[in-house]
Amino acid sequence: MVEFILSRLRAFEHAFHGWWYVICTQRNAWIHAVVTVVVVAMALFLKLSVHEWAILLLTIALVWIAEFLNTALEAVVDLASPNHHALAKVGKDVGAAAVLIAALTSVLVGLLILGPPLWQSIRFSFLR
Quote the distance between the C-alpha of residue 29 and its chain's center. Answer: 8
**What's the maximum distance between 2 C-alpha atoms anywhere in the chain?**
64
Catalytic residue among 3, 52, 67, 74: 67
The span from the CA of 39 to the CA of 16, in Å, is 23
Whether 35 contacts 62, CB under 8 Å? no
d(CA 126, CA 108): 26
CATH number at residue 78: 1.10.287.3610
Is 67 assigned a catalytic role? yes
Contact between 102 and 63 (Cβ < 8 Å)? yes
Residues 102/96, Cβ–Cβ less than 8 Å:
no
Segment 76-124, tens digit of pLDDT? 999 999 899 999 999 999 999 999 999 999 999 999 999 999 998 888 7
pLDDT above 80 for 128? no
Please enumerate in sequence order all residues whose Cβ is within 8 A of that of 5, keeping only pairs 6 or more positions apart, or say none: none
User: Which residues contact residue 57 at a Cβ distance below 8 angstroms, ignoring those fewer than 6 apart?
Assistant: none
Query: pTM for this structure?
Result: 0.88
Domain that holds residue 87: 2-127
Number of domains in the chain: 1
Euclidean distance between CA atoms 55 and 115, whole angstroms: 14
pLDDT for 1: 87
Q: Name residue 80's amino acid.
A: A
